[in-house]
């Protein structure tokens, strides 16, 4: 029997949860060859991301336009498309699966659809839509994360985001920089260009008042979420008000490491986190800052929540869900 060949279609290739998921699939679906197809122009690419994907067994192929003809003449046996929009009838060329992180375009015409979460099945990032199809969470190998020790040398707060989909939470970032005590460490994503006025000024003010060793600016990397979160005690998950988070891989990774996740009470995390048990939820910046201070003062609560979070994260592990995806691909004759 010849080896199947899956093409993963991601028109805009950036560091985010989708690319991490595709990398995990390439590792776990070893009976297939894997190619990642994208339209992002070479001058806009993160070369480190490309190298990491290739090291994980993904051939990467850039084209000016992803068309039915490109898929048809390339010898692929099936396609998985992630948040693809504006490519009418593309899914009709090969046995195909549409994987939605909250963006779904029916006109792509795939044979089956899967949502990243129950929330993503019901709510689009920018509008509501119902009944996408099955729910299969993105695969995350949580076992090594659940075995990682806590390593923060001072009480450290992380707010780490790729910034994709214009989700950077400018107002909350500035509040944390201005209001957290000077003895708190802060780990903060750096972006090529911070959105909003005042973030750079807030960073400079924090460094001047607290010392540069308490503030770490973290470049966005495909493995950055795990690497940076490992050095925190609590991880704040937040986004701009116009963004709806459909899965939040970073939340799961942080919980698997036993970190206290403090997340906004909206989007997928509002249904995922049991407040006070597996994590904390907040509505306002004032609540968020108060919860951070409580976790710094109450080590027992921090440990209890962290352990409950580890147990919950185990339910998201690859081993629990990869079989469902393998069966679906077989049913589609990929």
What pLDDT does 26 receive? 93
* Phi, psi for residue 228 in degrees, rounded to 5: -75, -45
| Per-residue model confidence (pLDDT) at position 166 | 83
**How far apart, in whole angstroms, are the C-alpha atoms of residue 147 and residue 314?**
11
Q: How many residues does the chain have?
A: 334
Structure tokens at 35: 């190619």
Q: pTM of the prediction?
A: 0.92
Structural tokens at position 213: 């060793």
Residue with tokens 């206290």: 260
Q: Which residues of the chain have pLDDT under 70?
A: 1-2, 125-132, 151-152, 212
What is the DSSP track for 65-91?
Answer: ---HHHHHTTT-SEEEEES--S-TTGG
Give the H/E segment covering residue 272: helix 268-272
- CB 61, CB 90: distance < 8 Å: no
Fold for the domain defined by 143-316: Rossmann fold (3.40.50)
Query: What does the DSSP assignment read for 215-248?
Result: EEEEE--TTHHHHHHTT-SEEEE---TT---S--
Distances (CA, A) of 233 to 22, 271, 333: 28, 23, 46
Provide the sign of the torsion angle of the four alpha carbons 289, 291, 296, 297, taken in this order: positive
Residue spans in the chain of domains classed CATH 3.40.50.2000: 4-139+318-331, 143-316
Residue 32, H or E segment: strand 32-38
pLDDT of residue 45: 85
State the Cα torsion 255-258-260-266 to the nearest 10°: 10
Closest by Cα among 27, 102, 32 to 319: 27
Query: How far, in Å, CA of 271 to CA of 225, rounded?
Result: 22
Angle (deg, nearest 10), helices 17-28 and 249-256: 70
Torsion sign (Cα): 126, 315, 144, 154:
positive
- Predicted confidence at residue 192, as pLDDT, reads 80
Structure tokens at 146: 């659940």
- What tokens does 260 get? 């206290």
DSSP symbol at 285: H
pLDDT of residue 225: 82
**What is the pLDDT at residue 46?**
84
The class level of CATH for 4-139+318-331 reads: alpha beta
In whole angstroms, give the CA distance from residue 222 to residue 297: 33
């Amino acid at each position: 029997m010849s080896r199947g060949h899956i093409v993963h279609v991601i028109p805009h290739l950036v560091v985010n949860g989708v690319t991490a998921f595709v990398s995990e699939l390439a590792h776990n679906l070893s009976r297939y060859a894997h190619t990642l197809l994208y339209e992002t122009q070479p001058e806009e690419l993160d070369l480190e991301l490309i190298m990491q994907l290739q090291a994980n067994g993904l051939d990467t192929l850039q084209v000016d336009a992803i068309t039915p003809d490109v898929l048809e003449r390339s010898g692929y046996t099936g396609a998985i498309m992630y948040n693809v929009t504006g490519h009418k009838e593309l899914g009709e060329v090969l046995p195909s699966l549409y994987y939605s992180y909250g963006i779904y375009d029916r006109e792509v015409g795939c044979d089956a659809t899967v949502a990243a979460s129950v929330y993503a099945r019901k709510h689009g990032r920018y509008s509501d839509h119902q009944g996408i199809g099955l729910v299969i969470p993105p695969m995350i190998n949580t076992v090594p994360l659940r075995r990682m020790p806590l390593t923060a040398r001072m009480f450290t707060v992380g707010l780490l985001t790729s910034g994709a989909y214009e989700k950077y939470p400018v107002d909350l970032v500035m509040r944390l920089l201005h209001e957290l005590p000077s003895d708190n460490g802060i780990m903060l994503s750096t972006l090529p260009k911070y959105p909003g006025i005042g973030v750079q000024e807030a960073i400079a003010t924090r460094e001047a008042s607290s010392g540069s060793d308490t503030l770490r600016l973290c470049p966005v990397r495909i493995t950055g979420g795990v690497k940076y979160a490992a050095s925190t005690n609590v991880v704040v998950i937040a986004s701009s008000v116009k963004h709806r988070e459909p899965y939040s891989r970073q939340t799961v990774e942080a919980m698997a490491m036993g970190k206290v996740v403090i997340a906004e009470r909206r989007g997928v995390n509002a249904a995922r986190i049991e407040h006070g048990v597996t994590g904390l939820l907040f509505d306002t910046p004032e609540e968020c800052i108060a919860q951070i201070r409580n976790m710094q003062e109450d080590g027992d609560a921090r440990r209890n929540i962290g352990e409950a979070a580890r147990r919950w994260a185990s339910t998201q592990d690859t081993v629990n869900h990869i079989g469902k995806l393998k069966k679906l691909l077989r049913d589609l004759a990929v």
